[in-house]
Structure 1
């Protein structure tokens, strides 16, 4: 009596490999027709959970904001350095009042030099402190005298943009965390897969395997294939015993039902 072999080691497949295996099974059943196989209800549930698994895989790991943040950070650095260099240059100014004003701003130069060496978000807070100092009663007159008001306004604008990008990236991460639910979706899919296999085996046992033996033969060959994949990933023997060699069988005439290579 034909039956689909157990595949407990599927838990060791990488998630993209499990998805590929799941899609192969889906395609084979679609080719044979779930109604004909008498598993319409079970197959619908299988497809739903397979889709959940697929939807839970976040393919784009890199943030969409990375390039924009790099550009904004570079611009902010340039403005910050420009202010520092302006003050340092004016400390050598030939006009006494400008030289004295720049000298009074020297403590800010000492404190806020090297902002660009900080992490992106850390620098944002650092720049807000710098801006607060520059606009304080203690320093604002000297800042104006040195003609730095526009520079300060531009630094605030650049820093606000960096803060906004950080906020947007945090929202993006939160959305990905919700979407990237394979930790939850994977065991649910595996459970539904096991239930489908159990149901098909029961049908073959009760009604005879004439309707199922070609599908089962192909199915077992694909399990054997993925056992080898697991062993290649983790080491010899980790995939478990193959049930009938590693040569995949072909489904009977039906076109799309022929053996499909795994997506590795």
Structure 2
């Protein structure tokens, strides 16, 4: 008699975990030997319900409610930074010597920081914060000389907005969202284990060979995941982390 082999679900990444559960559930719904058996059908229904909740939590973990706000604030911040940089460069060839000299100092300041709007969000936010601090202190005279204080003020406000939104998203992820996904995974694991026990029991008590094809399919999927785990980790396991 064939049985579904074991798989260590806790070692799967969040994405792989959901994909595995979905693959098994989808195939099970097409098996008459399962859907026609009241106990097996109920176990499959419980698995699907747990999987639906895991899907909801996984979507939230992948896209925070703050993500769109951060993207909008980042774009506005980048426009102001580009404006500040363009203003500085625009004064480099001023026919007034002290103005051109001030512009040259601020241009070198920009080169020193090498801020790229495409760089990692936290890094860009930190660099701009430091650049603004310099503009308000060390290079305040040069900024005043060029009359670009409004750019500095607006850029500072935009950068602080991005920083605040990032912090809010971090707090969100560190709390409810991650905790909900962890709990949803545990519920899916328990529902899957009960489903497997039920299928194995039905395989024993039901018609001979009725579930052999389904069991072979699930076992092949499990072997594929195990093989992938060994390949990715080099030690036979996949670290449990978000995708």
- Corresponding residue SS for 2:117: helix
Q: How does 1:50-61 map to 2 (within 5 A)?
A: 50-57=48-55, 58-59=58-59
Question: Which of 1 and 2 has greater Rg?
Answer: 1
Flag the structure with higher helix content: 2
Q: How does 1:141-160 map to 2 (within 5 A)?
A: 141-160=141-160
Equivalent residues of 2:99, 2:146 under 8 A apart:
yes
Cα-Cα RMSD: 4.2
Distance in 1 of aligned mates of 2:197 and 2:209: 19
Equivalent residues of 2:81, 2:155 under 8 A apart:
yes
The equivalent of 1:14 in structure 2 is: 20
| Cα offset, 1:152, TM superposition | 1.1
Deviates more, 1:149-158 or 1:161-170: 161-170
The equivalent of 1:86 in structure 2 is: 87
Which has the bigger relative contact order, CA under 8 A and spacing at least 6? Answer: 2
Distance in 1 of aligned mates of 2:80 and 2:181: 38
Query: How high is the TM-score relative to the length of structure 2?
Result: 0.62
Query: How high is the TM-score relative to the length of structure 1?
Result: 0.58
Provide Cα deviations, 1:98-119, integer angstroms capped at 9, x if missing partner: 3344345455233234343532
| Cα offset, 1:83, TM superposition | 1.6
- Distance change (3 Å), C-alpha of 1:100 and 1:226: closer
Structure 2 runs not aligned, ≥5 long: 10-18, 228-243
- Are 1:108 and 2:106 matched, yes or no? no
Q: How does 1:164-243 map to 2 (within 5 A)?
A: 164-171=164-171, 173-174=173-174, 175-181=176-182, 184-197=186-199, 213=207, 219-227=211-219
